[in-house]
Amino acid sequence: MVMIAGSIKLSQVLEALRDARPVFHSEADFQLALGQAIHEIDRSVAIRLEVGISRQLTDVRGRRQYLDVMCTSPAGRTAIELKYMTNRWLGSAGDEAFDLRDHAATDLGRRGFVFDIHRLESFLAADSSIDNGIAIMLSNYRALWAEPKVPPQTRDRMFRIHDGGLLAGTLKWGDNDVEASRRELSGSYKLAWHPWAEVGGANGEFKVLVVEVGRPPSIEQA
């Protein structure tokens, strides 16, 4: 059971959010709506968006890293990273009209999600006050969750996030072994996509992928 800030079931939050907002205009819209849904369910959970984790924790280019959503309550802290990758969809959900653009580059979407998982692992290793991390991908791009019929030879072949896939160990971007394109995951993550919403029309099926990142074992536990 995945918990947010030791206080709320993630499944409860996602169900409430899906019922209220099956579609979002952008990733920022998704981020804000998720934070609002968490706070409405439990007002003891403080929500902060775009939080700088540590001045010592930077990316390979030396830039400070930021977290999409930090949830804090008396029961714990949870770091959340979000991805909202859309295929072209024009329609309405409830009384609201949407015109979703086609992000097109699914390979970069996969890489971004894997980078989010690695970033959460880094955040938890750097900050002992964070209890767990959650990476969420919401999409209507079937190519993300559908398993390839034949093993792909594309540059993102080690970054595939299809339903039933596994992310673990050293992941390289194509034949490029430079640090900026390589990620070493300390955990092992079995991937399972779940239905989110059916909103009609071409590309009207949305699914969600959730990966929980736990705390690394301490030296005393090892």
| Pairing, β 132-139 against β 76-85 | parallel
What global pTM score does this model have? 0.92
Could you give the 3-state DSSP secondary structure of residue 200? coil
Which of these, 167, 134, 168, 165, lies nearest to 151 by C-alpha position?
A: 165
Amino acid letter, residue 147:
E
Q: Roughly how many angstroms between the first and final C-alpha of the chain, as a whole number?
A: 24
Tell me which long-range contacts 44-47 makes (C-beta under 8 A, separation of at least 24): 44/7, 44/73, 44/74, 45/4, 45/5, 45/7, 45/8, 45/71, 45/72, 45/73, 46/71, 46/72, 46/73, 47/71
Cα 176 to Cα 25, 105, 173, 182: the distances in Å are 34, 18, 6, 8
The helix or strand, by DSSP H or E, that contains position 139, with its residue range, turns out to be strand 132-139
Q: What percent of the chain is modeled with pLDDT above 90?
A: 77
Q: What pLDDT does 62 receive?
A: 60
In single-letter form, the type of residue at position 100 comes to L
pLDDT under 70 in the chain at which residues? 54-63, 176-178, 217-222
Q: Do the Cβ atoms of 117 and 79 come closer than 8 Å? A: no
Give 89-145 pLDDT, tens digit per residue. 999 998 999 999 999 899 999 999 999 999 999 999 988 999 999 999 999 999 999
Q: What is the domain partition of the chain in residue ranges? A: 3-142+193-214
pLDDT of amino acid 55 = 54
Distance from C-alpha of 119 to C-alpha of 134, rounded to nearest angstrom: 11
